[in-house]
Structure 1
């Protein structure tokens, strides 16, 4: 018996319109241990990190790619080229 590949096309992923700063915060957060550490590294408060993450999640949800957890945001960052697998 031979294997048959599914002929359906791969789903196209629509990236959200993240600002450069949002990408910077997302990248720093998925590579960091804490939001406090991200804030120190980027010279912003933990509250500001939280605000950016909330807005990033809303933008992903708006394009049909919800990311309710840090793991799902990491997946989105990898899918959209914001983080490279070799950096993990």
Structure 2
């Protein structure tokens, strides 16, 4: 990512690439005198967007996300973490520069991708799940039993079972049936409510 950004910034005298690192901890070890950090969502140390944004914020550094946007879970996590914006790597260079200039001044960058991440997936809105139902879906689809989900959420087990029935019904009505637990796991992945499994390293 740093090489690509360096290329974008090369002909702009108003912006300076001060430091680059593979991890946020590595960046902060180099310097904390930064107006803005441009963060990729997938870092080699397996850190989360929330922990990285929080670590930068402790030093008064604002964050702009620069991502391929292929993982809705990570994008949504970044949006909730309080970043200034979410910028796709496919954004034209001129627009990328404008966004970085704006973020470097501490001004939010209202891109469509950021708004979509905050609002949630359009398909999920059509399904119409409540926040409590989403909690149940995420836990159950990730492998927990209904009784365990009940303990973790403070709900009665029968309430969890009822929620799961309503969730399945709403997905079916949206043309995305999820009759099995595996199907619910797939839907939760599609809508960004569970992190995608890490790809095995070769």
Tell whether the structures are fold-level matches, with TM greater than 0.5: yes
- Greater RCO (CA < 8 Å, at least 6 residues apart): 1
Any gaps of 5 or more consecutive residues in structure 2?
Answer: 1-121
Give the number of the structure whose alpha-carbon radius of gyration is greater. 2
Displacement of 1:86 after TM fit? 4.3
Are 1:71 and 2:199 matched, yes or no? no
Partner of 1:14 in structure 2? 123
Partner of 2:156 in structure 1? 45
Query: Runs in 1 of length 4+ with deviation above 3 angstroms?
Result: none
Any gaps of 5 or more consecutive residues in structure 1?
Answer: 1-12
The separation in 2 between residues aligned to 1:36 and 1:76, in whole angstroms, is 21
The separation in 1 between residues aligned to 2:169 and 2:129, in whole angstroms, is 10
Partner of 1:3 in structure 2? none
**What secondary structure sits across from 1:85 in the alignment?**
coil
2:135 to 8, 24, 29: 24
Higher strand share: 2
Q: CA RMSD in A?
A: 1.7
The count of aligned residue pairs is: 75
Partner of 2:89 in structure 1? none
What's the TM-score once normalised by structure 2's chain length? 0.35
Displacement of 1:71 after TM fit? 0.1
